[in-house]
Every structure is written in C-alpha cells, then in structure tokens.
Amino acid sequence: MRALGWLAAAGTVPYLTLKLLWLSGSTAGVTEPGFLADPTVVVANAVTFGMDLVVIGLALALTHEWGDRLPAWLLLLPAWVGTGFLVPMVVAVMPATALQYATDAPDATWFEPWLQPLVYGGFAWQGVFLVAAFVAHAVRRWSDTVTTVAPPSPALVPLLRVIVAGGCVMAAASAGLHLLVGLTAGSALTLGVQAADAALAVAGAAGVVALVRGRPQSRWAVVAAAWTGSAAMFSWGLYTVVVRMAGGGFTTYGPAAGTAQVAGLLGGFALAVAGMLALVGTGERRRG
C-alpha cells in the first residue's frame, strides 16, 4: 500500500516544479510574462504550491503506519477536499483536454500549449493514486463505521431533514445549471465536462439521501457517491468563489456557470454535514 502513497506524491512533481520556477522569477510555459507579476497570481502560486505539499503529506499519512495514529478529521478533511478537486480531473477535465489537443489546435491563452496537459495530467495522476490510497486506508480503519447502520438521535432527525432538503435543492440547481451551460456552449467537450459535474452533484445528493434513510444495501457504494459528489461540488465551488473574490483572471465563468458553482458550494457543504451525521448515528461508536 505504501506504493500508492509514493505514486500519488510523484504526481505532484511537475506542478511543484512549475510553481517553484514561477515563484523564483522564471517565466517557463508563460506567453505573457507580466501575468506572473500580478500580486494576486503570486499569492495564488504560493497557496497552490502549499496545497500540493499537503497532497504529499496526506498520501504518505494514508499509506504508512504513523498515519493511523493521526486524528480522523486530520485525514478526512483534506482527503475530502482533495477528492473533490481531483476526481473531476480524472473523469472529465483531463479526458476532455486530451481530446481537444488531439482534434483541434489549442486556444490561445497566457500559457504555452504544452503546459495545460502537463498540469492536468499531473492532477489526474494524483487523483487516481490518492483516491486509491484513501480507499485502502478507509476500508482498513473505518469499515465498521461505514457498514454498521446506526439511526441518528431522534433529536437530530428534524435538523437532518432540513439539511438534506437544502443540500438536495442546491445540488439539483447546480446540476441543472451545469447542463444548461453545457448545452448552450456549442462544444461537445464542454458539454461532457458540464455533464460530469452535473452527474457528480446528483450522485452526491442520492448518496446522502440513501445514507439518511439507513439503507443497509451497498453501503460502500452509497458512501462513495455521497463523499465524491459532495466533495466535488464543495471544492470547485469554493475555488470559484475565492478566485472571483480575489479578482484573478483564472476563470471565464458566465453568470450561469458561476451560479452553478456557488450552488454546488452550498449544496456540497450541506450534504457533507448530513452525510457525516448519518454515518455517526448516535455517536456511540468509536470514530477512529
């Protein structure tokens, strides 16, 4: 299992190298050098450099014995956010990028044509091996929590219903807007990426509803859907909000796409809270 951790860590090397070069004053892979001098971009590069260092630490913690001694939340929170960022890269963004480069000349951007496949390929690599490492760790450490159906405390039921309802409404809104953006974009690749985002939102909502209802069948599949769907909505929604508030030029979201991400941020958070409460149940089990 340690190999999964080291393989996930290896996937960070291209991105970390690029960020380190940029923070050191290099303009490698950039067609507009002035772009890197923007203070917002400098801060973003430093933050994302640190985030990929966290990926290395998380990957090693999940696959080494010393990670078993860490508090559950210290692994679950970054693993959840990381899943949300990386799974869409694996299932949608990287395949769409590869198809685009194979069929058409890439659009003109601030970056050299080779940079996007390199970065997205690294993210997809991280996604495959980090998620595999997390699944192996979760099965070993929290199998009882996942497979044991424990009804929530009666006092929590009304609150849980409200949270689930709100999360599902936001997930449905996000999914619908993603499909709207994809259908009106005039691009099959964009439609594919947006459809994947919509599918993740629906999967997250369906998974949490199944958890709250306490269905014992296919618990791992239900938890996986709830985990991945809520994480994808939250992580990319948070990214969009932060970038837009910072005034960075990293996104070209229109109103519908931006609203889809904000709805996803709210829905992903609500569904994650509901899923956690449904899994913990009465709280009498050992949490790991």
Question: Does the global pTM surpass 0.85?
Answer: yes
Q: CA-to-CA distance for 37 and 27, rounded, in angstroms?
A: 10
Chain centroid to CA 228: 7
The pLDDT assigned to 70 comes to 97
Q: How far is CA 141 from each of CA 28, 104, 135, 207, 217, rounded to the nearest angstrom?
A: 43, 46, 10, 21, 20
The pLDDT assigned to 7 comes to 98
Residue stretches of the chain with pLDDT short of 50: 282-288
The pLDDT assigned to 228 comes to 98
- The one-letter code for the residue type at 192 is G
* SS3 annotation, 62-126: HHCHHHHHCCHHHHHHHHHHHHHHHHHHHHHHHHHHHHHHHHCCCCCCCECCCHHHHHHHHHHHH
Q: What is the pLDDT of residues 66-75, one digit of tens each?
A: 999 999 999 9
The pLDDT assigned to 251 comes to 58
The pLDDT assigned to 35 comes to 85
Q: What is the pLDDT of residues 30-47, one digit of tens each?
A: 988 888 888 888 998 999
- Domain boundaries, given as residue ranges, for the chain: 1-146, 148-283
166 φ/ψ angles, rounded to the nearest 5 degrees: -65, -45
The pLDDT assigned to 53 comes to 97
Q: What is the pLDDT of residues 257-277, one digit of tens each?
A: 999 999 999 999 999 999 999
